[in-house]
Amino acid sequence: MEFSCRILRAEDSHNYREVRLESLKLEPKWFGSCYERELKMPKLYFQQVIENNNPNAIMLGAFYDDILVGLCGLISSAQGSVEIIQMYVVKNYRGNGVALKLLSLAKQSLERLNSKSLVLSVFSDNQKALKTYEKAGFTVSYRKNNLVYMIFTQ
């Protein structure tokens, strides 16, 4: 399977919403939000980012043909790093390197967001995600409660 990744554009907003809501419905334990709450929102946070070209945040998408199959949200933090949030790959496309391609594009996006480091948090029992992040060059920064905080620096 061949995948392409890019920054989502305004015309991708509806497809983003569908994939985001799917992620919350099918994998609720891995996210800090809930399906029912976001379903009721007329516009999700990243829909607004996508539609308004927010200079401090971007949503990356992975595509198989024209189908959006993965998401990786990036937000600039006050500390000068960029935080990865909303990382998700549609179930039928997992195991094909989609997450690694998204993380590679996230690294390439650091300059655009005026940063040299990516940070993220992941639940400690999400072993597949932890292995993927380590494979992508992230290292564990610290652990707190049931979260693992990781960093990648260029």
pLDDT tens digits for range 41-90: 999 989 999 999 888 999 999 999 999 999 999 999 888 899 999 999 99
pLDDT tens digits for range 3-51: 999 999 999 999 999 999 999 998 877 777 888 888 899 999 899 999 9
Domains of the chain: 4-153 (3.40.630.30)
Q: In what order do the strands lie in the sheet with 82-89?
A: 4-7, 57-64, 67-76, 82-89, 117-123, 147-153, 139-144
Torsion of CA 124, 127, 131, 136, to 10 degrees: -60
